[in-house]
Amino acid sequence: SGVPQVPGEPDQVETFGRDLLKASVTFDDLDSVVGNPATMTGWEGIAADAYHQHIRATATDAGTISLTLRAAARAAQDYGDELRRLQVERELIAEDREGYNARIDALELEVAKGTEQDAAWLTAWSEDLVEQRARLVDDLATLTESTKTNDQSLIALLSALDTMESARVTTSGGAP
């Protein structure tokens, strides 16, 4: 139809988001278990101290990973919602374009059989088509830009979460 597709499957993106939320719960559980002081009682000495230090860091990292997965899940949900909206918008633009093309075909037929007395209304019809074309061009530009913005927003968030350090900054201001 001449209107570019908006690629992607919103349902798959939403499933991905739900899977990320489920995974975040696992890391919440890990954070809770390894951070529980009861799991560290009764063991003393250098090895115990090293273990306790390591397990506290693991709990902190698990908490960061959980927050990171939740942020990615929210971003995926937002992305999927916008993707669905953009796909509906694309279909509306495609319908408008088909209507526009049909009106051009009809105008050409009327011009071919028209007389001098028809010139005024045929001119008005033609001018209306020029305005409709301008709206279609604007709508397509907006759709293209919105699709690019949706993609870039998700990429930016995921890039901000690509290391533990950047995830800490993004999810908790850098605090471990």
- pLDDT number for residue 175: 63
Residue 58 CA from chain centroid, whole number: 31
- pLDDT number for residue 160: 82
- pLDDT number for residue 150: 95
Q: CA nearest 139: which of 26, 43, 2, 44?
A: 2
- pLDDT number for residue 174: 63
Q: Which residues contact 166 (CB under 8 A, 6 or more apart)?
A: 160
Q: Which residues contact 74 (CB under 8 A, 6 or more apart)?
A: 17
Residue 3 DSSP symbol: S
CA distance 83 to 14: 11
For the stretch 2-45, pLDDT in tens is 899 999 999 999 999 999 999 998 888 887 777 666 666 777 88
Residues of the chain under the 50 pLDDT cut? none
- pLDDT number for residue 48: 82
Residue listed under structure tokens 């533990």: 164
- pLDDT number for residue 148: 96
